[in-house]
A and B are shown apart, each in its own frame.
Chain A
Amino acid sequence: MQIGDSALKSDSPLQYTSVLVQQHIPLREAALLARYHLRLLNWWLLLLMALGFLGVGGLVWLQLHTGLAQGMSNAIGISRFVMEPGAGLLAGMLASSLLVGDPLLEVMMATRTSVYGVLAWHALLTFSMLLLCSAAYLAWSLMNGISYARQQSPLFLLLLWLAPVLVMGMLGLFGALATRNAALGLGIATIPLAGSLFLYEKLFPIQATHPFFISYTYSGGQDTPDWWTNRLTLLGVALAFAIWNWWFLRREERLLGNGR
Chain B
Amino acid sequence: MDIVIEHVSKRYGSHEALRGIDLCIEQGMFGLLGPNGAGKTTLLRILATLLRPTSGRVVIGDCDLGHRTQRKAVRAHLGYLPQELGLYPDLTGRELLDYMGLLKCLYDRSARRRQITALLDIVSLAGSADRHIKTYSGGMKRRLGIAQALLGDPQVLVVDEPTAGLDPEERIRLRTLLTRLAENRVVILSTHIVEDISQTCDRLAVLDQGTLVFDGRTRQLIEKAFGHTWQFHAAPGYTLSEELSVISALPQKEGMLYHVVGPEPYGSVQDVQLLSPTLEDGYVWLRQGSRP
Give Cα A111 to B78, complex, Å: 8
Q: Are A3 and B180 in contact, CB atoms less than 8 angstroms apart? A: no
Are A1 and B102 in touch, CB under 8 angstroms? no
A-facing mask of B225-253, CB < 8 A → 1, else 0?
00000000000000000000000000000
Q: With the chains together, A26 CA to B42 CA distance in Å?
A: 36
Q: Which partner residue on chain A sits nearest B114 by CB separation?
A: A17
Do the beta carbons of A16 and B153 come within 8 Å of each other?
A: yes
The answer to the question of B266 belonging to the interface, with a C-beta cut-off of 8 Å to chain A, is no
Chain A interface residues (CB < 8 Å from chain B): 1-5, 8, 10-26, 28-29, 32-33, 36, 39-40, 102-114, 117-118, 251-253, 256, 258-260
Within 8 A of A (CB), among B92-112: 95, 98-109, 111-112
CB distance from A110 to the nearest CB of B (A): 4
Q: Are B109 and A13 in contact (CB under 8 A)?
A: no
- Across the interface, do A111 and B114 meet the contact criterion of CB distance under 8 Å? no
A residues near B150, Cβ cutoff 8 Å: 16
CA A3 – CA B72 in complex, angstroms? 11
B107 close to A260 (CB less than 8 A): no
- Distance from B152 Cβ to chain A, minimum over Cβ atoms (Å): 6
The stretch among B80-88, B212-220, B256-264, B275-283 that forms the contact with chain A is: B80-88
Contact between A1 and B95 (Cβ–Cβ < 8 Å)?
no
B24 at interface, CB cutoff 8 A: no
The complex places the Cα of A259 from the Cα of B62 at a distance, in Å, of 28
Most buried by B among A18, A105, A110: A110
CA distance A2 to B75 in the complex (A): 14
Is there contact, CB below 8 Å, between B152 and A107?
Answer: no
B interface list, Cβ under 8 A from A? 1, 12, 17, 37-42, 45, 48-52, 60-63, 72-78, 80-88, 90-91, 95, 98-109, 111-112, 114-115, 118-119, 122, 148-153, 155, 180-181, 183-184
Closest to B148 in A: A107
Distance A28 CA – B102 CA, assembled complex (angstroms): 11
> What residue of chain A has the Cβ atom nearest to residue B121's Cβ?
A16
Interface centre among A14, A28, A103, A111 (most CB of B within 10 A): A111
Given contacts A19-B111, A20-B106, 7 further A-B contacts (CB under 8 A): A3-B73, A5-B73, A10-B184, A13-B183, A18-B115, A109-B50, A112-B76
Chain B residues with Cβ under 8 A from A104's Cβ? Answer: 86-88, 100
- Nearest to B17 among chain A residues (CB) is A260
Chain B residues whose CB sits within 8 angstroms of the CB of A26 once the complex forms: 107
9 smallest beta-carbon distances between A and B, as pairs: A103-B86, A16-B118, A18-B153, A259-B41, A110-B80, A113-B103, A19-B106, A111-B103, A106-B82
Query: CA A191 – CA B263 in complex, angstroms?
Result: 65
B74's nearest neighbour on chain A, judged by CB, is: A3
Chain A residues within 8 Å of B84, by CB: 106, 259
A36 to B184, CA, bound (A): 32
* Contact residue among B50, B90, B183, B184 (Cβ-Cβ distance under 8 Å from A256): B50
Nearest CB in chain B: distance from A71 CB, A: 44
Task: Provide the bound-state CA to CA distance between A23 and B75, in Å.
Answer: 13
